[in-house]
Structure 1
Amino acid sequence: MEIDDFPSHNRVNKKHVRDLELTTKTVNRFITFR
């Protein structure tokens, strides 16, 4: 069951990581502009 659930969990994880990277870039840009 856990193995079957892994792919969808991985997909969600990748989306979360992408959102986190976007947020980090935005924050870095904001700090640079200060």
Structure 2
Amino acid sequence: MCDYSARIANEICCKKLEYVIEKMDAMQLNIEPSTNEV
């Protein structure tokens, strides 16, 4: 039971990470044209 819930929690974490990374990528695309300095 512990293993199962840990796996589900891990999957949710991965999904959240993917979502956040996608959002950050989109934000970078929006920001890049206006700022050339990194």
TM-score normalised by length of structure 1: 0.81
Gaps of 5+ in 2: 32-38
Query: What RMSD over aligned residues (CA atoms) do the two structures have, in Å?
Result: 0.8
Identity, % of aligned positions: 13
| Higher Cα Rg, which structure | 2
The number of aligned residues is: 31
TM-score normalised by length of structure 2: 0.74
Q: Which runs of 4+ in 1 moved over 6 A?
A: none
Gaps of 5+ in 1: none
Greater helix content: 1
